[in-house]
Each structure stands twice: as C-alpha cells, then as structure tokens.
Structure 1
Amino acid sequence: DGNVLLPPSGADYDVDSYANFLQRGIDAFKKKSSSTP
C-alpha cells in the first residue's frame, strides 16, 4: 500500500480511533508550523 496514514493497528482499526489519530497528527503539524516564524 505505502499509505503512511495507516494507524499502527493496521486494517482493522476503528473509525473513531483513526479519526483521533489523524486529528492528533493535524494538531501536531499545525503547532509545529505555527511555532516557526
């Protein structure tokens, strides 16, 4: 597949867990990019 957004649990993830996983990644990315001038 090569999909880097797959959660550690693989194909049988639960949708809410995956949504939380993505949201954490998005929040971290926003913080990182907003903290750099």
Structure 2
Amino acid sequence: MLATIILYLEFFLNTYQGCSKALGQFPKILFRAAINRAP
C-alpha cells in the first residue's frame, strides 16, 4: 500500500516537473515569435 502511494507521488512529481518545464519554455517561444514578426 505504502509503495503504491510512493509510486503515485513520484509519478505526480515527474509530471509536475515536466509541466513546469513546458510552461517555462512557453514565454521564450512567444518572445521569439514576436521578434520574428517585428518588421
């Protein structure tokens, strides 16, 4: 039972880290797009 909880926690943390990494990249991508679009 405890092992299952730990497994779920690990999975949740890994997913959370992945999501925050993706969110961290998002502003950079928007910024680049804005620079490329500027005349």
Q: Specify which structure has the higher proportion of helix.
A: 2
Aligned length, in residue pairs: 25
Q: Map of 1:1-37 to 2, 5 A cutoff?
A: 14-37=4-27
In the TM superposition, what is the alpha-carbon distance from 1:36 to its structure 2 partner? 1.2
Structure 2: 5+ residue stretches without partners: 28-39
State which structure, 1 or 2, has the greater radius of gyration over its C-alpha atoms: 2
What is the aligned-residue RMSD (CA, Å)? 1.4
TM-score by length of 2: 0.58
Structure 1: 5+ residue stretches without partners: 1-12
TM-score by length of 1: 0.60
Greater relative contact order, per chain length (Cα 8 Å cut-off, separation 6+): 1
